[in-house]
Structure formats: structure tokens, C-alpha cells
Amino acid sequence: MRLSRDLKYSHSEQGLGKEDDMKFGNRIKDLRAKKGLTLDQLAQETGSSKSYIWELENKNPPRPSAEKLSAIASVLGVTVDYLIGSDTQTLNAAEDTAFFRQYSGLPEETRRQIREMARILDTKTRK
């Protein structure tokens, strides 16, 4: 897919070396470990093979498709931009953005319940 080509060339065009390419794989590996997921589990949840996930984490340069990037980011609870390092977004900001996207797609009643839970939690933390 085009994103795979863009990811490959964006690194070389910007003069980014192996260190930056590996950042992508390290991000996946670190986030996967934080979530307590094995290679097999992440592969299953994203419709990928274990070897494909391993290659993304360890090969240089990685060549993921846009579809796989999106699935991996979704399972790991971050944005695609955070995974590929195309912006200066922090992990917390990437998680918040991914959460908001998921929240936006929920039914109105579910969103109302989440807002109410947030109000309750906010009240508790202010005491």
C-alpha cells in the first residue's frame, strides 16, 4: 500500500537513520508489553500472523500496510501517528486521542454514562 512506501521513504527523505526506523518497532514492542500481550495475542487481535508482528518489531525498515497499522494502533490504544513517530505526540496524548475516537463512535447512552463516571471520578480526586 501507499502508506508502506511513504513510511519507508519518509524516513530516508528526512535523513532519518536506522535508529528512527527501530523506534517504530520498539514502540509496538513496548506498548504490547505494557498491555501484557504476547506476539500471538497481538497477531490474533489484529488479524496478523505472529511472524508479521515480529517483523514489524524487529526488521529494519518495517513495511506495514495502512490497514495493519490502523489495527495495531487500535489494539494498542494509540494513534497511527504515534506508532510511526510522524509527530511529537506523547504516549498520553496518543492514548487520549485514540480513546476519544473510540468514545465518539459509542451510542449516546454509553457516552452519557462515561461522562457521568468521569464527573464522579473528578469529584473524588478533588477531595
C-alpha cell at 100: 476519544
Which CATH superfamily hosts domain 2-126?
Answer: lambda repressor-like DNA-binding domains (1.10.260.40)
Q: pTM of the prediction?
A: 0.64
> Measuring CA to CA, how many Å separate 103 from each of 11, 26, 97, 108, 111?
32, 27, 10, 10, 7
The sign one gets for the Cα dihedral 64, 66, 67, 73 is positive
Question: Per-residue confidence of the chain (127 residues) as pLDDT tens digits?
Answer: 334 434 433 333 333 344 444 488 889 999 999 999 999 999 999 999 999 999 999 887 667 888 999 999 999 999 988 888 876 778 888 888 888 888 989 999 999 999 999 888 888 777 6
Determine contact, residues 110/117, Cβ cutoff 8 Å. no
Q: Where are the domains of the chain?
A: 2-126
